[in-house]
Amino acid sequence: MNLRMDDKIAEQYKSNSQKIRVITEQWVNDNLFCPYCGKAHIAHFENNRPVADFYCPDCAEEYELKSKNGTIENKINDGAYDTMIHRIVSINNPNFFFMNYNKQDLQVRDFLMVPKYFFSPEIIEKRKPLSDTARRAGWVGCNIILKQIPEEGRIFIVKNEIELPRKEIISKVRRTEFIKQYKLDARGWVLDVLNCVNKIEGCDFTLDQMYKFEDVLAKKYPNNNHIKDKIRQQLQILRDKGIIEFRGRGNYRKI
């Protein structure tokens, strides 16, 4: 994988935003494999699709690319809010690639993939509508709140300019792929409890520590009167799928 992007392919463009779009998309087209099935190259969709930029010719997984000069922060600007929500709740919502690069030398610093099943409407923040004087008056964009995605869903392909092993990346994707079998509501519970697990410091934790998140989860699910039961249910799912280990008497360990 060549981490240096080629700016010559965008010489014909005048707009800086167009230039960087062409440069970053070409880099992905030349360097990225499919994190699901491992196919050596993914393909580029025709321009102006509502969300997705790339797809895998073998397994048909779709990917949307977001790139930024500088570090990848907890909040990523995205396109139209309604379009994003529609895709998330649909059966073919895209996976996401997030890239940060150095504008001076066009070097890829970090590149990570977030599987589609880690997305829910709760992590999409609606921005204020554009003013009446704007060219697209009333248009409503959105932000992706990365910090609300569990660590297991932020899978680095390049980190600090170091390419990570392909087998390791595919393994991480397959480890959490069970989440996509759940409908959106059930998926939200799995992700929320997984986030709670990750908030506990260290590898070992107890059921009593998890119960301390009861009030937080109750606010998010006000119609559910059995929060502790749901916590235990989701811990059992995470245990059965190899994300955590049950060590007896209300004790767990992160794997």
User: What length does the chain have?
Assistant: 255
* 6-41 burial code (b ≥16 CB/10 A, e <16): eeeebeeeeeeeebbbbbbbbbbeebbbbbbeebee
Contact between residue 88 and residue 119 where contact means Cβ atoms under 8 Å apart: yes
178 confidence band (pLDDT: 50, 70, 90): very high
- Which pLDDT tens digit goes with each residue over 21-42? 999 999 999 999 999 999 999 9
Contact between residue 22 and residue 13 where contact means Cβ atoms under 8 Å apart: yes
Q: Where do the domains of the chain lie, and which CATH numbers do they carry? A: 8-164 (3.40.210.30), 184-254 (1.10.10.10)
Return all residues near 69 (Cβ < 8 A) that are at least 6 apart: 20, 100, 101, 102, 103
Closest CA to 125 of 83, 78, 87: 78
Q: Is 103 or 232 the better-scoring residue by pLDDT? A: 232
The CB density around residue 175, as the number of other CB atoms within 10 Å, is 14
Report the greatest alpha carbon distance in the chain: 66
What does the pLDDT read at residue 3?
A: 95
48 confidence band (pLDDT: 50, 70, 90): low
Helix (H) or strand (E) run with residue 85 in it: helix 81-89
Mean pLDDT across the stretch 145-166? 94
Token readout for 51 is 């969300």
Q: Which residue carries 């980190």 as its tokens?
A: 159
Closest CA to 156 of 128, 114, 94, 106: 114
Residue 148 CA to residue 191 CA, distance in Å, equals: 9
Q: Which residue carries 């119609």 as its tokens?
A: 223
Q: Could you tell me the pTM of the whole model?
A: 0.88
Given a cut of 70, is residue 51 above it in pLDDT?
no
Q: Write down the mean pLDDT value for the chain.
A: 91
Mean pLDDT across the stretch 198-213? 96
What does the pLDDT read at residue 76?
A: 86
Closest CA to 68 of 106, 96, 99, 95: 99
